[in-house]
Chains A and B, each alone.
Chain A
Amino acid sequence: AQKVTQAQTEISVVEKEDVTLDCVYETRDTTYYLFWYKQPPSGELVFLIRRNSFDEQNEISGRYSWNFQKSTSSFNFTITASQVVDSAVYFCALSGSGTGFQKLVFGTGTRLLVSP
């Protein structure tokens, strides 16, 4: 079975703090894809990153970075020097051959509140 766990329901930080959002996944597939989406208060879903299971290199995009570790089945997301505009719900998601047809299995999300 495919499963994504985001154990942190809500995180509150003060602007300029660094914050890491955890994502742990379960799958029996050898080929799979991991995603992060952002859902700001306006409600739309914004794609942030896609990572395939064969690429364990960490990725950095501006203030955002992702740490993928197959050994611990984790795909954590770090925001450096957080800003108020980062306040949103962040979802980790998984798709693989087990889900079929690229269906996504989502975690329950982590709500990030960044205060000035």
Chain B
Amino acid sequence: NAGVTQTPKFRILKIGQSMTLQCTQDMNHNYMYWYRQDPGMGLKLIYYSVGAGITDKGEVPNGYNVSRSTTEDFPLRLELAAPSQTSVYFCASIPGQGAYEQYFGPGTRLTVT
């Protein structure tokens, strides 16, 4: 199993550009999450999904969109990039409701200038 994979690893965007951060897991997990980690801070939840076709907002959803058309994939979309979105983005997954640790991807480092 590859676990949770994220692409790209690094990206530099200009203000106003759009991009999609990809997240894929091959563990057949139902629950998936997107977090952002700002410098010197902990992770904050952006969006999450409890299954294909079901998504909901986390703590800091503004400026982002998600979709979940398959169990495996949970892409995160930035429509109009802003410098405040400069961060490291982590995707995570768990099998479902229960006492599971979250499996994290390696992260995507995004800079918006």
**A103/B40 in contact, CB under 8 A:** no
Task: Give every chain A residue within 8 A of B74 (Cβ-Cβ).
Answer: none
Q: Which A31-60 residues have C-beta < 8 A from chain B?
A: 33, 35, 37, 43-45, 47, 50, 52
Query: What is the 8 Å Cβ interface bit string for chain B, positions 72-107, against chain A (1 contact, 0 not)?
Result: 000000000000000010100010011111111011
**B94/A102 in contact, CB under 8 A:** yes
Q: How many A-B residue pairs have CB under 8 A?
A: 56
Interface size on A, residues (CB 8 A): 21
| A71 to B: closest C-beta gap in Å | 22
Pick from B90, B101, B103, B104: contact of A50, CB below 8 A. B101
Secondary structure at the B interface, as helix, strand, loop or mixed, is strand
CA gap between A98 and B42 in the complex, in Å: 19
| A9 to B: closest C-beta gap in Å | 8
Question: How many B residues are at the interface, by size bracket?
Answer: 20 to 34
CA gap between A103 and B93 in the complex, in Å: 10
Task: Judge whether B21 is part of the interface by a CB distance below 8 angstroms.
Answer: no
Pick from A43, A101, A109: contact of B42, CB below 8 A. A109
Most A C-beta atoms less than 10 A away, residue of B31, B100, B101, B107: B101
Return 18 A-B CB contacts under 8 Å, by A number. Answer: A4-B42, A43-B107, A44-B104, A44-B107, A47-B101, A91-B43, A93-B42, A101-B31, A101-B56, A102-B94, A102-B97, A102-B102, A103-B45, A103-B48, A107-B42, A108-B40, A109-B40, A109-B42
